[in-house]
Structure 1
Amino acid sequence: MTFEERLDAMELEIRKPIFRKNRGRANEVNYWVFDYPPEKELEVRARIERMQQKNATGNDDFKLVVFDLYDYIIDTLEKEGFLDQCYRFEDRRGIDRIVKAVGNLLCVNDDDSLIVRHIEENTPENAIVFLIGIGKCYPLLRSHKVLNNLSQSFGRVPVVLFFPGTYDEQSLILFDELKDDNYYRAFRLVKP
């Protein structure tokens, strides 16, 4: 299957009424991963943008809601007045310390994660959620943390994580080497 055919199959799959019944394969929460080669990022973004434009015409019986997690992190840091401080802090303390500080600000490891709260508050009923920007977030935010936090409290609509790497339904592999093997409750949306 070509990459364009995979994108077509993904779009067809989410349009099926059964997809929006909010049950995964084993009657689990409806979480999906669309994995793709990182070099196809621009094609994925363009397809999602076209899907949003089509959905905005109101012809679908669902609302497509797209959350760019990177944009959310940057907006939050700017709103809190921490973005410039992060640059200076990284120079003095290194990226690992920034990752910890941003994680603490966003409550990434807590039950009351700001990202999860933002998604919950901005997702209408009868929607499909797309999570994008995972590659841009690395290492500030790990995809398995988002999915784990969401699956604890948010299960009313299907969620699709667009992952620039490989997902084998046991681990998420970013850049062919960085393995996020802490998440296994999502299903692969379209196999290559």
Structure 2
Amino acid sequence: MTITQLYNQLADKDFQDYQTGDLFFPAYMYMYDASKEYEIENEILDIKNRLHRPNNYLDVMVIDIFEEFLNFLKETKFGKDNKYDFYLLHEKNKPDAVDKALKQDAYDVRFLTFLDQKIKSHLEQAKPYEVAYVFVKGFGTTFPYLRTSRFFNNFEQYIKGYKLIMFYPGKAKNYYSLFGLLKDENLYRAIKLINA
């Protein structure tokens, strides 16, 4: 599927209904060659703007998972500081402990709730537009702290009232392969829109 074909599918009124799709599970993956990262970034914004035209009454939310993880750490108190500043302070003298803590934070229910609340707030503010999609990008940047399959597995319960489209810089056969080089984790049941 080319990026043009992706736009055509997302523009299809039947596809926009979050209750349609295989297994009635509203999570999809668009896989692409990691060397096209910059091009895909621009295409994501272009698709968002084209779908948002007033006559479509359609709004698309774009989430950079890496940026949101940083925002979560900055908003989470840890002693006198927030977690972001605390980790920056200790990453050189205690790298293993910081690494372990970041991996735990990435799957903490508080981070998932933080994302869910951000999406719900956007849905509320977008009215009277219909929000059909939440685009999620930035998984290449969050590796190895946030792994695709595990994120989907943990966030599944929050996906309600929209379709989640994840942009993944890699391939998937029997397992996810980030950048086509790194073995990530076993496949999740999100519906693949392309096999890179």
Alpha-carbon RMSD across the aligned residues, in angstroms, is 2.5
Per-residue deviation, 1:123:
4.4
Amino acid corresponding to residue 43 of structure 1 in structure 2:
E
Change (3 A) 1:139 1:181: closer
Equivalent residue, structure 1, for 2:67:
71
- Show CA shifts across 1:171-191 (max 9, x none): 221133432334421111134
Distance 1:103 1:123, change over 3 A: farther
Residue 84 to residue 73, structure 1, CA distance change in 2 (3 Å): same
Q: TM-score, normalised by structure 1?
A: 0.81
Using the TM superposition, give the Cα deviation of residue 23 of structure 1 relative to its aligned residue in structure 2, in angstroms. 4.2
Asked if the contact 1:98/1:140 (under 8 Å) is kept, the reply is no
TM-score (normalizing by structure 2): 0.80
Query: Deviation per CA, 1:134-182, whole angstroms, max 9, x where unpaired?
Result: 11111221122221122123232111100011123x5221133432334
Whether the aligned pair in 1 keeps the contact of 2:58 and 2:132 (CA below 8 Å) is yes
Contact map agreement 1:103 1:141 (CA 8 A) in 2: yes
Select 2:150's aligned residue among 145, 158, 162: 145
Query: Which residue is 2:47 aligned to?
Result: 51
Which runs of no fewer than 5 residues in structure 1 stay unpaired? Answer: none
Question: For residues 55 and 38 of structure 2, what CA distance do their matches in structure 1 show?
Answer: 26
Query: Any idea what SS the aligned residue of 2:168 has?
Result: strand
Q: Specify the alignment match of 1:190 in structure 2.
A: 194
Decide whether aligned partners of structure 1 residues 70 and 191 sit closer, same or farther in structure 2, where only a CA change above 3 A counts: same
Q: Identity over the aligned pairs, expressed in percent? A: 22
Q: Which residue of 2 aligns with 1:175?
A: 179
- Who is 2:85 aligned against? 84
Q: Which has the larger strand fraction?
A: 2
Task: Give the deviation of 1:24 after TM superposition.
Answer: 5.7
C-alpha distance after superposition, 1:102-160 (max 9, x if no partner): 34445x15487235423542342532010011111112211222211221232321111
Runs ≥4 residues deviating over 6 A: none
